[in-house]
Amino acid sequence: MGLPWGASRSYGGHQQRRLLDRDGRELPGHLDRSAGDALPAIVVVHDFYGLTDQIKLVTAQLAAAGFVAFAPDLYHGRVATTRDGAIALAQTIAWNRVAIELGLAVEALRDRSRGAPVAVCGFAMGGAAALVAAAAIDRIAAAVTFYGIPQDVAIDNRAIKVQGHFAARDQKCTRPRVEALHHALLEREVHHEFHVYEADNGFCNPTRTDAYAAPEADLAWQRTLGFLRAALH
């Protein structure tokens, strides 16, 4: 079974469940704690379309694998329905604010899971955000990026583990950029593993009929689950 990247891009198809920070404030996003509370947790970061039903399905898949999963809503209720709209929303993102919001989510998950480890996993723009979080938040145990690399971010935390899934045909996360990230992590002695697939950017997304590659998506997802279980248990 491939990565559960559902077809719907509507925001209102699921009732939102929210995560509270230690001050009782609601963090916008979708929480799936059906596996329990005192468990390792994953922050799932959406792509540039926003917090869609497909991202909520990813949280459900992670919950089925035995994790608490929370997908923060970086757009605070806005969701794009077209690529142009997604580009416009992505341009409103302030990366320092993203780091703060992901940090709040990590701390809230650690609080509710009684200090259990937390990882961040993201897709495209969200994959870049996962690496931003890895650089900015000390208490993250692991980070997974699917075809997302941020600009000018240095990860110095030797305690973190990083996994990357990249497409061989990708005009954004090009081979030189992937290799540069690999060498930067190697230089800083940050544990990491990268996988490159003979596919296009977005190969894990079934709604991307121009890019989706089921065998590669299946393999990437199984590698992700194996990595997260090893890193967080």
DSSP SS3 for 71: strand
Radius of gyration of the chain (CA): 16
* pLDDT grade for 206, boundaries at 50, 70 and 90: confident
Q: Which of 53, 32, 35 is nearest to 43 (CA)?
A: 32
Q: How many domains does the chain have?
A: 1
Residue 4 included in any domain:
no
Residue 8 included in any domain:
no
Averaged pLDDT for residues 119-134: 98
Residue 111 included in any domain:
yes
Output the CA–CA distances (angstroms, integers) from residue 194 to 69, 72, 166, 199, in the order listed: 23, 25, 8, 15
Residue 145 included in any domain:
yes
Averaged pLDDT for residues 11-31: 75
The answer to whether residues 139 and 109 touch, using CB atoms and an 8 Å cutoff, is no
CATH code of the domain containing 99 = 3.40.50.1820
Where is pLDDT greater, at 2 or 38? 38
Residue 184 included in any domain:
yes
Residue 14 included in any domain:
no
| Range of the structural domain that residue 86 is part of | 19-232
Residue 2 included in any domain:
no
Residue 1 included in any domain:
no
